[in-house]
Amino acid sequence: MAALAVVAAVAVLAVAVVTGGSGAVAAAKGPVIYIFGDSMSDVGNNNYLLLSLAKCDYPWYGIDYASGFPTGRFTNGRTIGDIMAAKFGVPPPPPFLSLYMTDDEVLGGVNFASGGAGLLNETGIYFVQYLSFDNQISSFEKIKNAMIAKIGKKAAEEVVNGAIFQVGLGGISSFRPVSL
């Protein structure tokens, strides 16, 4: 329930950012969306991690998605990020690990979420390989640097400043005992 409240708060903030932010570069095509989180938002990053025990490439993942096939989502349909992107009229951001830093796709939104990620970097250690929240933030920096290389610092900053950021993680953190 708390995770849902966080996602709802981020969505409200996103509306404020879209209606009040500059985002001149992104506004022409719709808002750029960056998604950080856990399995509730992962759209396929874990399927690119060879050693990950948290993958969703089985037939039942995606049966209610548009393609009817597994998509890398830990659901049979859409994630909250997919729904949010549809409401703003933009395609769902692709998984970070599916991109090359020289692709034009780095100029649009990106999904960094990874099943197993949590509030603590140690949350997903049982899944062997995953993108921790720290890894996701470092990956965002790589995307931003790739954007700067493609369109220049000022234009990249305009895109990022006008972007919507969804952060939704922590559900799995509450189930893992933590010793301090």
Q: Does some domain include residue 179?
A: no
Q: Does some domain include residue 47?
A: yes
**Angle (CA) 35 57 92, round 5°:** 30
Cβ pair 9, 177 in contact under 8 A: no
Q: Does some domain include residue 111?
A: yes
Domain with 157, as residue range(s), is 2-174
Q: How confident is the model at residue 123 (pLDDT cuts 50, 70, 90)?
A: low
Most trustworthy range by pLDDT among 5-14, 75-84, 158-167: 158-167
pTM equals: 0.74
Total domain count for the chain? 1
Q: Which of 47, 55, 15, 8 is nearest to 33 (CA)?
A: 15
Q: Does some domain include residue 155?
A: yes
pLDDT of 147 reads 93
Q: Biggest alpha carbon distance in the chain?
A: 49
pLDDT of 127 reads 62
Residues facing residue 164 across a β-bridge = 33
Q: Does some domain include residue 117?
A: yes
Q: Does some domain include residue 180?
A: no
Q: Does some domain include residue 94?
A: yes
**Angle (CA) 8 37 69, round 5°:** 100
pLDDT of 52 reads 65
Kindly report, residue by residue over 80-96, the tens digit of the pLDDT: 888 889 999 999 999 99
Q: Which of 136, 134, 141, 139 is nearest to 156 (CA)?
A: 141
Q: Does some domain include residue 71?
A: yes
